[in-house]
Structure 1
Amino acid sequence: MPFYKFENGKVFYEIFGEGEPLLLIHGNSVSSRMFHPIIKLYADNYKVILFDFPGHGKSSRLEKFETDFWYYNSKVSNALLEELNLKNVNVIGTSGGALVGINLALEHPDKVKFLVADSFEGESSLETFVKTIREDRERDKKIEEAQFFWKDMHGTDWEKVVDMDTNVNIEFAKTGNSFFHKSISELDVPTLLTGSLEDEYCNHLDKIFEGLKDKNTALKIHIFEKGNHPAMFSNHEEFFKIASEFIAKKM
């Protein structure tokens, strides 16, 4: 299995298909395996690059996650592109992966050609989400379907990974900081924001995205009327079409 070194550990990655490179960035509490059910759709058209955040999936485990989790994993993403000697890569990040993708584009604009940021909460933590995350996760961990899903993502130590993710969401929210180290107004990479009005974690993504567009008028927005979190999966065929058109400069 392919790995690359990052700090004191190894990060797992894999590549599917051929063509223009496309980096897919997974979200919180999961791994790159989340993309496997839809990977053929993308690999038939792109050289798709997947990786697991440190402490997730097949990557080396950590004692705890960095509080500045989404900025930290943008550095992990950049290290992978350095390892593969790639620049001007198309990037799709979903949920927490969208935050990682935006950080990557803000810090290393030469690495990102087009960015699609899907189903994320804006510039800072949502109080409504963080307030109930521990209770929600404890409930979900008792559901057999959720157990199977997380075990498929991470293996037998899935519960520790999920608990560490719960903790980092709470710890980061306490800082009151933005997910990004630079203003969204500095985002020069062509960027499409996507989400669903029915997102169960945030039912007003349209208003959040419009607020971001007020700060950076170059941002493009597409909101799906239907579909749960994340829109990349609940609207996977239409999402692929829209994202591909954006990458092909047809939007």
Structure 2
Amino acid sequence: MSYFTFENKQVYYQELGHGEPLLLLHGNTASSAMFEEAAIKFMENHTVILIDFLGHGKSERILEFPADLWFYEAQQVIAFLEEKNYNNVSLIGSSGGALVAINVALERPKLIHKVIADSFEGENPLQAFTETIGEQRELSKKANEIRGFYISMHGDDWEKVVDCDTQAIEKHSREIGKFFHKSLEDFVPPILLTGSKEDEFVLELNVNYFEKTYSNLIKKIGHGEMFLFEKGGQPAMLSNLDTFVRISENFLHK
């Protein structure tokens, strides 16, 4: 297994296949293990890079996650790319990983080729989500399927990982309330925003949530594309994997 050092902690990564570099960024309570099938498909045309953010998966554990979690994880990505002398890297981030991808591109645009941001809530946290996150996470621990997902991502200490993530989300909502340090008007690389119209996290709020939110983001950025799947849950990229890979490859290579 391969690791790089960030703030004296060991961060796990993998490099698979050959070709143009493509870094896949996992979401909250997940790890790079969520991309097992996706990595195989993208390996046909890319060097696929996987990272477990600190505190997740096979990376070293930390006592607590910082409130500015998605920027902290972006700093880990930047440190990795600079240490490994990667440039012209494309990023695919899903859910919380999409927030990380956008932060990376805002902070180090010269390192990034293109960005695909999947199934995320926009510039700011959803209050309806953050207000009930503690209760919802406790319920998720009792659901066999979700608990099985947590275990497959992190192993025996999965509950500590989930609790740290919950606390960081709650603290971020109270103390920070925005995901990006720089204005979206400063975003440089081409970007594709994807999501599912049936995403369970936003469906009850507004059936057109992604269409409205992504349109506003593209307007602020000044460029960008959007693709919304009619079917599938959260995240859209995994519930529509074959179509997502095809759409992604078209975007990355045009």
Q: Same fold (TM over 0.5)?
A: yes
1:65 & 1:119 partners in 2: Cα distance? 22
Query: Is the aligned partner of 1:230 residue 2:238?
Result: no
Contact 2:28 2:95 in 1 (8 A): yes
Q: Which amino acid aligns with 2:222?
A: T
The aligned runs of 1:69-88 (5 Å cut-off) are 69-88=69-88
In structure 2, runs of 5+ residues without a counterpart are 204-208
For residues 28 and 20 of structure 2, the distance between their equivalents in structure 1, rounded to whole angstroms, comes to 26
| Matched letter for residue 227 of structure 1 | G
Alpha-carbon contact 2:57-2:153 (below 8 Å) kept: yes
Is residue 124–residue 176 contact of structure 1 (8 Å, CA) maintained in 2?
no
Structure 2 CA distance for aligned equivalents of residues 11 and 225 of structure 1? 36
Match of 1:217 in 2: 222
The correspondence for 1:244, drawn from 230, 249, 253, is: 249
For 1:1-251, list aligned pairs within 5 A: 1-203=1-203, 204-249=209-254
Distance 2:45 2:224 in 1: 25
Query: 2:125 is paired with a residue of what secondary structure?
Result: coil
CA shift at 1:15, angstroms?
1.1
Q: Which moved more, 1:113-122 or 1:138-147?
A: 138-147
CA distance in 2, matches of 1:133, 1:177: 15
CA RMSD of aligned residues (A): 1.0
**Which deviates the most, 214-223 or 106-115?**
214-223
TM-score, normalisation: structure 1: 0.97
Looking at structure 2, the residues matched to 83 and 67 of structure 1 have their Cα atoms a distance apart, in angstroms, of: 25
Contact 1:26 1:32 in 2 (8 A): yes
For residues 217 and 38 of structure 1, what CA distance do their matches in structure 2 show?
30
Separation in 1, partners of 2:152, 2:91 = 24
Task: State the one-letter code of the partner of 1:222.
Answer: F
Runs of 4+ in 1 over 2 A off after TM superposition: none
State the shift of 1:67 in Å.
0.7
What is the number of residues matched between the two proteins? 249
Greater mean deviation of Cα atoms: 142-151 or 154-163: 142-151
Structure 1 distance, partners of 2:131, 2:165, is 14
Q: How much has 1:138 moved relative to structure 2? A: 0.6
Post-superposition shift, 1:224?
Answer: 1.1
Separation in 1, partners of 2:38, 2:192: 20
TM-superposed CA distance for 1:48, in Å, is 0.1
Q: Secondary structure at the match of 1:141?
A: helix
TM-score (ref. length: structure 2): 0.96
CA distance in 2, matches of 1:107, 1:5: 20
Equivalent residue letter for 1:106: L
* CA shift digits 1:216-236 (9 cap, x unpaired): 231211111111001110111
What percentage of aligned pairs have identical amino acids?
47
Tell me the distance in 2 between the aligned counterparts of 1:73 and 1:195.
22
Residue 99 of structure 1 aligns to a residue whose secondary structure is: helix
SS of residue paired to 2:115: strand
The alpha carbon displacement at 1:128 in A equals 1.2
Which whole-Å deviations, capped at 9, do the CAs of 1:133-158 have from their partners, x for residues lacking one?
Answer: 11111111012222221111111000
CA distance in 2, matches of 1:102, 1:187: 8
Paired letter, 2:70: W
User: What secondary structure is seen at the aligned counterpart in 2 of 1:47?
Assistant: strand
